[in-house]
Amino acid sequence: MSAPIVSALVAARAYLDSRDLEPELRTELAPIVVAAEAGDAAAAAEVLDRFFEPLAFGTGGLRGIMAAGLRRMNKPNIRRATLALAQVTQAHVPQTGQPLVAVVGFDTRLQSDSFALEAARVLAAAGYQVYLGDRPLPTPFLCFAMRQLGSACGIIVTASHNPKEYNGYKAYNHKGGQVLAPWDTEIEAAMAALPLVPPVPPLPVADAIQAIPASLEEAYLALGLDLRQHPAVFQPARVLYTPFHGTGIAFVPELYRRAGLPLQICATQAIQDGSFPTAPRPNPEEIAAYQAPLADAQRLGAEVILANDPDADRIGLVAPNQAHQGQWELMAGNDLVALTLDYLCSQKGQTGVVVTTVVTSDFVAEVARRHGLEVMWTLTGFKYIGLCMDALAARGEHYAFGAEESFGMQLSDAMRDKDGVLAALLVGELVGHYKALGLGPFEAVAALQARVGVFHNRLVNLEDPRPGGAIRFGEAMTRIRAAGLTAFAGEPVASWEDFQAGEGHRGELTTPILDRPDNLAAAQPIDRSNVLKFRLASGAFAAFRPSGTEPKLKVYLQSRTTVAHLDRMEAEARQLLGLG
């Protein structure tokens, strides 16, 4: 046997020998270890995959396949992460003499409820007053509850839109945002110092774990109703909603009922089921997930489909596109958030700062500027948008809107994560407004682009499954960074940004990359990240962002001319990365 497999088997045996390991995990793992020790190559590879390193605590928390092992989602890892979060929170949050408050929630995934209860018990044993969701609840509502209850930290057990085999653990700080530096690195260090199978927490004392107050659900619903624009020109649209077997069903139909708007439900996907029987990949960014609601839409005569992912922080829209003979199509996240921002500005009006990410389409920024709003830029991920919201609040500035290309937006400053639930009501109203004007959603985007300019965007997910794929992507990034690009897809490169170095380049001029380039008095350098972005003379751009740990790399493309130009950009990006 190789040295790594021998080492993994030693770790697996120590794991199995722990007195605190759950019996079901021991039962599942033991036969695999025995087979590996007997020379079974497949079993040995499985043991290596589960034990060559612990499941890492990333910038958002944990995510992995549910099974026994160090690199799997299970109760021992829930305990490790929660013990570490409790410790780091106590180091960062001032003590008042009263128990620190924590909010714990979970989605509809398999084992999410038992994982959440385990986390709540760990926090209660550490002296926290814990508010635990009494049923699967949407991530945005839980984030709302964190801020309303003044929580010192929060935990949501969810793996968003991953397949059914996965689960995850999102950790939140005292401001209700996902943990970032230095919390994330401190939590990971604290986890490393803990036993791989920590003791099972004792039963909590009376009232140490309570249900999240029902009054907060009422407050959240009221917030959603207050966000409506009540346009003068309006005709209710026939909206079909799907929660993809997830948590959105807890709030979206009730929001529509209170708003007095009709809503049809995809019955098969309204059933909360963590095995996702009708959508093996319950991702609103993938049209394949919409087979059941598309069939319902045609049968029921719906005009648009709105979807939330299982934890309901993202929103997708599918509708007929008259430019393509009325074919039902999935609207790009960039287009949906730009249209939503324009709708908000055109109705009651918006003031303040729009926050978006460096890989999101310039469509959003252009809409903001056309309405006199400043744009604040940040790294990819809503955790960074939440950080920008904190910065605006600290300066006494008004937050207007936040969005990213991956089907996420935040309409209110009451939360620090994206919200697909309240967005579902507003977008449904938006569709009704454009219906009264004789426009479907895609035609409304076309009309908006006729005013502000054309934007075609595409996300290209690249994988190199060959051995050393992640290394090759890293080497490609190094090569591109060192040589730069003077031309791309037949156009000269006008400027480029290296977010790892924090430097922007235009000709011979090098400047820091700032989050608010249009407001230098308030601008700050953007956080560092391994991202390269090249802007072309036409206004097109190509941004490259590797995973860092997996053989995956995302390329974000924008053309200001044609889809054919996007095709050429994609082909050249693949060639540049050695995948042509």
Give the residue numbers annotated as catalytic, written as ranges. Answer: 160
Local structure of 15: helix, strand or coil: helix
* Calpha distance 473→335 (Å, rounded): 29
Query: How many other C-beta atoms are found inside a 10 Å radius of the C-beta of residue 165?
Result: 14
Q: Are 128 and 99 in contact (CB under 8 A)?
A: yes
Q: Cβ-count burial of 223 within 10 angstroms (0-12 exposed, 13-18 middle, 19+ buried)?
A: middle
Is residue 339 within 8 A of residue 448, CB to CB? The reply is yes
Q: What SS3 class is residue 16? A: helix
State which H helix or E strand residue 357 sits in.
strand 353-357
- What burial class does residue 140 get, using C-beta atoms within 10 Å of its C-beta: 0-12 exposed, 13-18 middle, 19+ buried? buried
SS3 564: helix
d(CA 387, CA 179): 10
CA–CA separation, 580 vs 559, rounded Å?
A: 20
Dmax over Cα atoms in the chain, in whole Å?
74
Burial per residue of 85-122, b for 16 or more beta-carbon CB atoms within 10 angstroms, e otherwise? bbbbbbeeeeeeeebbbbbbbbbbbbbbbebbbbbbbb
Contact 355, 362 (CB under 8 A): no
Q: Provide φ and ψ at 25, rounded to 5°.
A: -70, -40
